[in-house]
């Protein structure tokens, strides 16, 4: 019998038959196994394509999720806090791991100066710390509008004379410096009223107004090298309006612009900080020279021929050296005293250290029983005096504090520690280098003592562990010729010229040593 022709391919069914053809002998199980083999070959390819197509989106989402949820930035930590007494103020120094902004306010009943700071990690607990000078005690606590509130309880009415940040330099951390001074009750009330503060017990603050003396422009003046203003964020409608008198000091670095979303990176992989801009040195970057006129106030020092006082000679000489150094435009200069006042030896050291001095020069004029000795000499620190005369002179100078009932050796652990271990070899070497240069330069201007003009002794004013320091004995007031020269303005001008030349040579050497 003739078979019918096979149907054309287009007429073939879309699906495989579910039953075997009675003539072909192929059962349902064989067809099923063939289908499984076909799917087994195609399915992995399809899954791979789907996975590859979705991988970039998944990676992008994961990266954006990681970057959108960064870990919180580390909190600024307090490294050290200290109070120091100066002739006309009490200085508080807060050493921190990063520069901070701050605001100041006043409160009465009792009199307080309140400083609001960002949230700080402050080791050692928050118990009150005994104060000195105008500060009866101070303490810190979490709270206030910014995170940490530092409160000074003062001895009577007081105000902020000056406040500023010292940027990190010479291996030291940033420092917040607050100078506090006494004021009258009337001025305190005036400042609080002008600033809009609320007086009375429990008042939040009598705030420091931009029109009051609490700011004086100096509250916001700082030694920061990048004084970039930071725009204040717009207050939200539900926020209370800020007190009009609070003076905020911006952080020293402008915030970086926000990174576009496409450039977000995981928080665990922070980007490198930007390179500092190339800018010419500012005033704050000039070396700071601290001149220390010896004695003062009830301590006249040596009394020379004709009744001249050492305290008057040293102050006049320091003012002349300051004038000449500032005239060069290369240095900042500060005096430990610029009036006839008494300053303890340990406070002279503290003034230089807290100011960030690059060089400390103490000026003196000696007097001995013999009227024949004359000439200039320079002392650097040593735990063992270079000779008996140097030892006696250092002991006499260090006893100056005892004139007002103060025993330096018993009160100042800094001096004791430095003289015991003398670990600051680098500072001592710099001091010796300056002394050598000084004798070479000053020897052309003024007479030197005939033997060993560079001497060593344990002068208390030379014990700053991180500031090169020398003591210059400008001459002997017990010698009539030296006393006449030191009382002469022309001689002091020659002395200042020699010291200015020495300081120039010292910093040229220092910069050369740093480059090498």
Can you name the CATH fold of 76-224+245-252?
Immunoglobulin-like (2.60.40)
pLDDT at 58 over 60: no
C-beta atoms surrounding 253 within 10 Å: 18
Identify which of 183, 185, 93 has the alpha carbon closest to the alpha carbon of residue 132: 93
Between 394 and 469, name the one with better pLDDT.
469
Between 516 and 380, name the one with better pLDDT.
380
pTM as predicted: 0.47
The domain spans of the chain are 76-224+245-252, 286-515
What is the predicted pLDDT for the residue at 108? 86
Give the pLDDT confidence of 204-229 residue by residue, as tens digits.
Answer: 333 333 333 333 333 333 333 333 44
- In the numeric block, which tokens belong to residue 217? 């422009």
What are the residues whose beta carbons fall under 8 Å from the beta carbon of 340, sequence distance 6 or more? 296, 297, 311, 312, 315
Q: Using 50, 70 and 90 to split pLDDT, how confident is the model at 173? A: confident
Give the pLDDT confidence of 336-357 residue by residue, as tens digits.
Answer: 999 999 999 989 999 998 888 9
Q: SS3 for 379-445, per residue?
A: EEECCCCCCHHHHHHHHHHHHHHHHHCCCHHHHCHHHHHHHHHCCCHHHHHHHHHHHHHHHHHHCCC
pLDDT at 111 over 80: yes
Q: What is the CATH number of domain 286-515?
A: 3.40.630.40
Distance CA 150, CA 144 (A): 9
């Amino acid at each position: 019998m003739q078979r019918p022709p096979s149907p054309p391919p287009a007429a073939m069914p879309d699906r495989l038959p579910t039953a075997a053809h009675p003539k072909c002998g192929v059962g349902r199980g064989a067809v099923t196994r063939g289908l499984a083999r076909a799917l087994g070959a195609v399915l992995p390819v399809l899954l791979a394509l789907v996975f590859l197509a979705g991988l970039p989106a998944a990676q992008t989402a994961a990266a954006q999720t990681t970057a959108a949820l960064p870990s919180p930035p580390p909190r600024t930590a307090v490294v050290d806090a200290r109070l120091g007494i100066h002739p006309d103020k009490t200085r508080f120094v807060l050493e921190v791991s990063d520069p901070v902004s701050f605001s100041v306010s006043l409160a009465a009943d009792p009199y307080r100066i309140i400083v609001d700071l960002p949230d700080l990690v402050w080791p050692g607990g928050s118990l009150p710390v005994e104060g000195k000078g105008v500060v009866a005690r101070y303490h810190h606590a979490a709270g206030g509008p910014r995170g940490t509130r530092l409160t000074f309880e003062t001895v009577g009415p007081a105000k902020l004379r000056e406040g500023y940040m010292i940027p990190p330099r010479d291996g030291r951390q940033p420092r917040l410096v607050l100078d506090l001074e006494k004021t009258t009750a009337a001025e305190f009330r005036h400042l609080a009223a002008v600033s809009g503060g609320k007086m009375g017990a429990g008042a939040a603050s009598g705030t420091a107004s931009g029109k009051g003396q609490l700011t004086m422009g100096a509250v916001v003046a700082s030694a920061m090298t990048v004084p970039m203003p930071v725009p204040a964020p717009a207050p939200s409608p539900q926020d209370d309006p800020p007190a009009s008198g609070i003076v905020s000091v911006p952080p020293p670095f402008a915030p970086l612009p926000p990174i576009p979303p496409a450039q977000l990176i995981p928080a665990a992989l922070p980007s490198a900080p930007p390179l500092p801009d190339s800018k010419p040195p500012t005033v704050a970057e000039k070396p700071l020279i601290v001149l220390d006129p010896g004695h003062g106030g009830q301590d006249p020092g040596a009394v020379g021929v004709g009744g001249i006082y050492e305290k008057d000679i040293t102050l006049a000489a320091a003012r002349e050296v300051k004038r000449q150094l500032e005239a060069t435009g290369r240095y900042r200069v500060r005096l430990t005293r610029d009036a006839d006042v008494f300053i303890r030896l340990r406070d002279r050291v503290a003034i230089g250290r807290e100011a960030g001095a690059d060089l400390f020069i103490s000026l003196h004029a000696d007097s001995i029983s013999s009227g024949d000795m004359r000439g200039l000499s320079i002392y650097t620190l040593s735990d063992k005096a270079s000779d008996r005369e140097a030892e006696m002179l250092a002991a006499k100078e260090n006893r100056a504090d005892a004139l007002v009932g103060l025993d330096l050796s018993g009160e100042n652990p800094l001096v004791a520690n430095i003289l015991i271990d003398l670990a600051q070899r680098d500072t001592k070497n710099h001091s010796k280098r300056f002394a050598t240069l000084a004798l070479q330069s000053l020897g052309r201007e003024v007479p030197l003592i005939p033997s060993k003009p560079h001497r060593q002794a344990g002068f208390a004013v030379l014990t700053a562990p991180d500031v090169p320091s020398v003591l210059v004995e400008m001459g002997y007031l017990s010698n009539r010729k030296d006393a006449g020269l030191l009382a002469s303005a022309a001689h002091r001008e020659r002395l200042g010229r020699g010291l200015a030349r020495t300081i120039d040579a010292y910093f040229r050497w220092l910069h050369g040593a740093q480059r090498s």
